[in-house]
Structure 1
Amino acid sequence: MAPLFALVVGTALARLAGLAGISALDGWHPALRVGLAVMFVLTGVAHFAGRRRADLITMVPPRLPRPDLLVSLTGVLELVGAVALLIPATARVAAAGLALLMLAMFPANISAARRRLTLAGRPVTPLGQRTALQVVFVATAVVISFGP
C-alpha cells in the first residue's frame, strides 16, 4: 500500500503546489508525473535497502536466473525512470518504459502470491488486490505517456 500512498500523496501535493503558483506543476498531468516519480523513488530504493531487498529477491520466480541481479537492474530502471518523469522532454517515453517494466515485473507478484510468501513478517498482498493496484499504476503511466 505504500506505493499507492506515495502516488496519491505525491500527486496531490504537486497539484497543490501548482495551484499555489508553481507554473511547472500547474495541471494534473505534471502532478501525476511527480506522483509517479515519488512512487518509483520509493520502490526503486527498496531494491537496494536491507531486508526489503532480500524480500524482493525472494519474490523473483525460481526459474529466473540471478534474482539478485534482476532486482538490482529493475531498481536502477525504476530510479532512472523516476528522474526521467520529472523532465518534460523525457516524461512520455519514461512513462511508457515504466509501464512496460511494471508489466514485466508483475509475474514476480503472481509467483509470490502463488507461493504464499511472507515478506517483512506479513503475507504478500493477495493477487486480486495486487492486480488492482497494478492496473492503477500502469494506467497512471499510460495517462502520462499519452496525455497532453
Structure 2
Amino acid sequence: MKPLIVLLGTFIIAITVLKLARNTTDYRLAGRVAMASMLSFTAIGHFMFIDGMKAIIPDFFPLKTEIVFATGVLELVFAIALFYPNIRALTRWALIIFFIAILPANIKAAMHHINYQTGANDGHGVTYLWFRIPLQVFFIVWVYMSTLKQAQ
C-alpha cells in the first residue's frame, strides 16, 4: 500500500509542478518521476529490512542477503534509467520482467503471513494477494504507459 501512495502522491506533485513551471501537462514524464520515486522508496526497504526481505524470498534461492541487496540496487538503477531516452524501451521491458519476477516473493509473504519488515509471521496473509496481484499489474501498465515515446 505504501508504494502505491508514494507513486500516486508523487504523480500528483509532479503534474502540479510541471503545470506551474512549464505550463504543460506531461503525464508520461510525471509518470516516470512517480515510478522513480516509488522504486527509490522500495529500494530503501531492501537496505533497512534485510531479514524481512530475506524471509519472503522463495526457499530454493541461495544467497538471499545478496539477492536482497542486488534487487535494491537494481530498483535504484531502474529509477535512474527511466530518465534516459536512449535506454527507456530497454528499461521498460526490464522493469516489467522485474515486476513479474518478484511476484513469487509477494505470494510467499502472503501464504506464510510474513511481514517483510521484520520477517515475523504476522503479515497480511493470503487475502492481501487480492490487492497485491492487481497492484503488480497496475505497476506494469504504469511503466509501459509512462515509457512510451511521445507522439510527434
TM-score w.r.t. length of structure 1: 0.88
Give 1:98 shift.
1.2
Alignment identity in percent? Answer: 28
- Tell me whether 110-119 or 126-135 shows the greater mean CA deviation: 110-119
Render the CA deviation track for 1:63-87: whole Å, top value 9, x for unaligned: 1111111111111110010011133
Give 1:26 shift.
4.0
Matching residue's letter, 2:21: G
1:31-46 alignment, distance < 5 Å: 31-46=30-45
Unaligned runs of 5+ in 2: none
1:9 maps to 2:9: yes
Q: Tell me, in whole angstroms, the C-alpha distance in 1 between the residues paired with 2:75 and 2:42.
A: 7
Q: Tell me, in whole angstroms, the C-alpha distance in 2 between the residues paired with 1:55 and 1:22.
A: 42
Render the CA deviation track for 1:79-137: whole Å, top value 9, x for unaligned: 01001113333333223211111111111011111122234475136111111211111
Q: Tell me, in whole angstroms, the C-alpha distance in 1 between the residues paired with 2:35 and 2:56.
A: 23
Q: Is the 8 A contact 1:96 1:145 kept in 2?
A: no
Q: Tell me, in whole angstroms, the C-alpha distance in 1 between the residues paired with 2:105 and 2:148.
A: 27
Matching residue of 1:88: 85
Matching residue's letter, 1:113: A
Matching residue's letter, 1:29: R
Q: Is the 8 A contact 1:48 1:72 kept in 2?
A: yes
Matching residue of 1:70: 67
Matching residue of 2:100: 103
Q: Tell me, in whole angstroms, the C-alpha distance in 1 between the residues paired with 2:71 and 2:115.
A: 21
Render the CA deviation track for 1:38-77: whole Å, top value 9, x for unaligned: 000000111111xx22211111011111111111111111
Matching residue's letter, 1:134: Q
Q: For 1:61, which of 42, 54, 58 is the aligned residue?
A: 58
Matching residue's letter, 2:140: V
TM-score w.r.t. length of structure 2: 0.86
Matching residue of 2:110: 113
